[in-house]
Amino acid sequence: MLWRNVGFLCRETETTDALGKPFKTFLKTMVFCNEKGVKRSEFYQAQAQGYRPELCIELKACDYSKEGHFEYDGIMYRIIRTYPVKNECIELTCQALVNDD
């Protein structure tokens, strides 16, 4: 594998502004990854549970620390499933976030 794509593992944190109103921010960690296709059977099984997997990413397992979000090509995704694969790698199955603004 060539690890030529770059993504960001994102850990969600909640902070407050000057008025004390809470808002969410993300702490991002850059990782090298490979984009993979979502498998057909996995797609249909997830649809039955109400999820919509749109992206599958492979990265080194040592880079992943149970973050809940992944940013790739400027789009923020929620990690809905992880799966260990060969050669000390892990697959992240992700669903795009809907902007609440």
Q: Is the pLDDT of residue 99 over 70?
A: no
Going from the C-alpha of 69 to that of each of 5, 21, 89, the distances in angstroms are 17, 23, 18
More confident of the two residues 49 and 24: 24
What average pLDDT does the chain have?
A: 85
Q: Is the pLDDT of residue 38 over 70?
A: yes
According to the model, what pLDDT value does residue 54 have?
82
Region 25-31 average pLDDT: 94
According to the model, what pLDDT value does residue 61 have?
94
Contact between residue 29 and residue 6 where contact means Cβ atoms under 8 Å apart: no
What are the residue boundaries of the structural domains of the chain, listed by start? 5-12+22-90
Burial of 18 (0-12, 13-18, 19+ CB in 10 A): exposed
Size (the chain), residues: 101
**pLDDT band at 87; cut points 50, 70, 90:** confident
Rounded to whole angstroms, the Cα distance separating 45 from 100 reads 27
Q: Is the pLDDT of residue 26 over 60?
A: yes
Q: Is the pLDDT of residue 47 over 90?
A: no
Predicted structure pTM score: 0.80
